[in-house]
Amino acid sequence: MIGDSGKGALVDLRSDTVTRPSAGMRRAMMEAELGDDVFGDDPTVNRLQSQAAQLLGFEHALLFPSGTQSNLAALMSHCGRGDEYLVGQEAHTYRYEAGGGAVLGSIQPQPLANRADGTLDLAELEAAIKPDDPHFARTRLLALENTIGGKAIGRRYFDEALSLARRKGLAAHLDGARLFNAAVKLGVPAKELCRGFDTVSVCLSKGLGAPAGTLLLGSEALIHKARRARKILGGAMRQAGIVAAAGLYALEHNVARLAQDHANAERLAVGLRGAGFDVEGPHTNMVFVTAPPGFADHLVNNEILVLAGPRMRLVTHLDVNAAAIDRVLAAARSFASAAAQTRG
């Protein structure tokens, strides 16, 4: 069985999306009051949407099945055919969403290099904004991400980036799939990290532990457009209160505890460094390790699931406890000492 890590079962460090709903969350889902959300009749969805809008400082929120769809609906709400959005090379909305903006929205991405801290250089950003000229796509939107690669970006950078966007007449979208990780890490209310963005997308199904669901937040006018985009994209669900109940439970029970995931990532990074590995981070709930050949196989043989690659990302979450981290470290140390013996 995957999960209940630290009790001898598999330890799954592939992503914080692998969590399964806890008993309490399942109970909340079972007991949810339901209606047809396409008619706006689902009381649990409505409660989640209004609670989230209030929590994060927006007029409205809209529940989507996934973060990918919420981000795409945001792009489609800000941009039309032949428009362009500025986005980081490493951003999920550019790199990991199958080019949805271009494929389904006829929106051109203008990717820019992310700096080591995950931000975009503002001079480069400004230089990439196209003049109003029929040769060019119309630059309409700046899309940022927090956390990005686990790195939490603070208010000061957003103030500068958003003031540039305003000066240039651009709208601003934040992919806040892990917004609450950033807020907990920086010790600020999540609302503080949303201020100034026209839309923010927040996933319930990553560190917050819900099985599905992402909220898009924005003004009444933008959410009206996003609702149409959601319909086009096939994301309007019927008795979606089952999903919303998990989201409400997650917002109530699983935000403050993200600090434990960050502490476990710290424990993992310190332990791996101690065992001689080349480690980057921790960045909130993520640790990056340069993986020697054979390391991923060794972990898998020890019932530790990872995504293999030369720069391995290890992610902590609510199904990984400190004992599970210690199992990973024991496996890493046994790999390192076997490698040292082979060399010696």
The single residue among 5, 68, 108, 254 that binds ligand PLP, judged by CB under 6 A, is 68
- In this structure, the strands spanning 83-88 and 286-290 are unpaired
What's the angle, vertex CA 223, arms to CA 219 and CA 224, rounded to 5?
115
Query: Minimum Å distance from CB 213 to ligand PLP?
Result: 8
Query: Minimum Å distance from CB 177 to ligand PLP?
Result: 3
Query: Minimum Å distance from CB 70 to ligand PLP?
Result: 8
The single residue among 175, 198, 261, 319 that binds ligand PLP, judged by CB under 6 A, is 175
Query: Minimum Å distance from CB 326 to ligand PLP?
Result: 27
Query: Minimum Å distance from CB 123 to ligand PLP?
Result: 25
How far is 271 from 294, CA to CA, in rounded Å? 19
How far is 238 from 47, CA to CA, in rounded Å? 15
Binding mask 18-57 for ligand PLP (x = CB under 6 A): ----------------------------------------
Beta strands in the chain (DSSP E): 11-12, 60-64, 83-88, 108-112, 138-145, 171-175, 199-203, 214-218, 279-283, 286-290, 304-305, 311-315
Query: Minimum Å distance from CB 337 to ligand PLP?
Result: 34
Q: Is 104 in the site for ligand PLP (CB under 6 A)?
A: no
How far is 108 from 9, CA to CA, in rounded Å? 45
Q: Shortest CA distance to 79 belongs to which of 200, 194, 171, 199?
A: 171
Q: Which is nearer to ligand PLP, 74 or 332 (CB)?
A: 74
Query: Minimum Å distance from CB 51 to ligand PLP?
Result: 20
The single residue among 177, 223, 250, 328 that binds ligand PLP, judged by CB under 6 A, is 177
The single residue among 42, 84, 90, 145 that binds ligand PLP, judged by CB under 6 A, is 145
The single residue among 49, 110, 199, 214 that binds ligand PLP, judged by CB under 6 A, is 214
Q: Is 118 in the site for ligand PLP (CB under 6 A)?
A: no
Query: Minimum Å distance from CB 175 to ligand PLP?
Result: 5
Q: Shortest CA distance to 222 belongs to which of 178, 171, 176?
A: 171
How far is 321 from 344, CA to CA, in rounded Å? 35
Q: Is 67 in the site for ligand PLP (CB under 6 A)?
A: yes
DSSP 131: P
Largest CA distance in the chain: 70
DSSP 265-314: HHHHHHHHHHTT--EEEEETTEEEEEPPTTHHHHHHHTTEE---SSEEEE
Q: Which is nearer to ligand PLP, 77 or 205 (CB)?
A: 205
Q: Which is nearer to ligand PLP, 98 or 338 (CB)?
A: 98
Q: Is 203 in the site for ligand PLP (CB under 6 A)?
A: yes
How far is 221 from 317, CA to CA, in rounded Å? 35
Q: Is 92 in the site for ligand PLP (CB under 6 A)?
A: yes
* β-bridge partners, 305: 12
Instruction: Return the range that interacts with ligand PLP (CB under 6 A); candidates 24-32, 61-69, 248-256, 265-273.
Output: 61-69
- In this structure, the strands spanning 138-145 and 171-175 are parallel
C-alpha distances in angstroms, 279 versus 60, 66, 98, 275, 294?
A: 41, 31, 29, 10, 17
Query: Minimum Å distance from CB 284 to ligand PLP?
Result: 12
How far is 156 from 133, CA to CA, in rounded Å? 33
Instruction: Return the range that interacts with ligand PLP (CB under 6 A); candidates 43-51, 62-70, 233-241, 289-297.
Output: 62-70
Binding site for ligand PLP (CB under 6 A): 17, 66-68, 71, 92, 145, 175, 177, 203, 205, 214
